[in-house]
Amino acid sequence: MTTASTLLHRHIQTFVDDNARWQTLIADNLLWELPFAPSLGHPARLMGRQEVVNHVTWFLSSVENFRFLDVEVHPFVDSQAAVAEFRGEGFIKSTRRIYVQNYVLFLRAENEKITFLREYFNPVRAAKALDTPIRGLEP
């Protein structure tokens, strides 16, 4: 496995189950892009450790029994980059709804740390689970 694909596997293994350990995987200057998040009222990018940890803390406190399934990690020729496809499932505490999502996550690494993530997900599924309107759509 490459550096990035190893980090992707560790990201998925520790993000929920051992978040303190997950935080050791990320660089202080991590940039996490979430291109579809603004349609839910969330930021399109998280810059730096504090913004990332704050957002992750919110997510983890909002969802119970979140888990990743059907994980496929695809290393690039460049050992510092990889992409993963997977599903996520959990229970949204505030709405009492089940959240099921498909993800595509790109990762870049530098000095054995995650320096860049770009996460694609279906905002309609997230909006339904969170009972949140999708911004930009007519009511």
Is the dihedral angle over the CA atoms 114, 15, 32, 28 positive or is it negative?
negative
pTM score, whole prediction: 0.93
CATH code assigned at 118: 3.10.450.50
pLDDT of residue 99: 97
Whether the per-residue pLDDT at 25 is higher than 90: the answer is yes
Whether the per-residue pLDDT at 128 is higher than 90: the answer is yes
Report the greatest alpha carbon distance in the chain. Answer: 47
* Residue 45, token pair as written in the block: 């990018």
pLDDT tens digit sequence for 51-102: 999 999 999 999 999 999 999 999 999 999 999 999 999 999 999 999 999 9
Whether the per-residue pLDDT at 1 is higher than 80: the answer is no
For residue 30, what are the domain limits?
Answer: 3-130
Domain count, the chain: 1
Determine, yes or no, domain membership for 96.
yes
Determine, yes or no, domain membership for 137.
no
Query: What are the C-alpha distances in Å from 53 to residues 32, 47, 65, 99, 132?
Result: 11, 10, 19, 21, 22
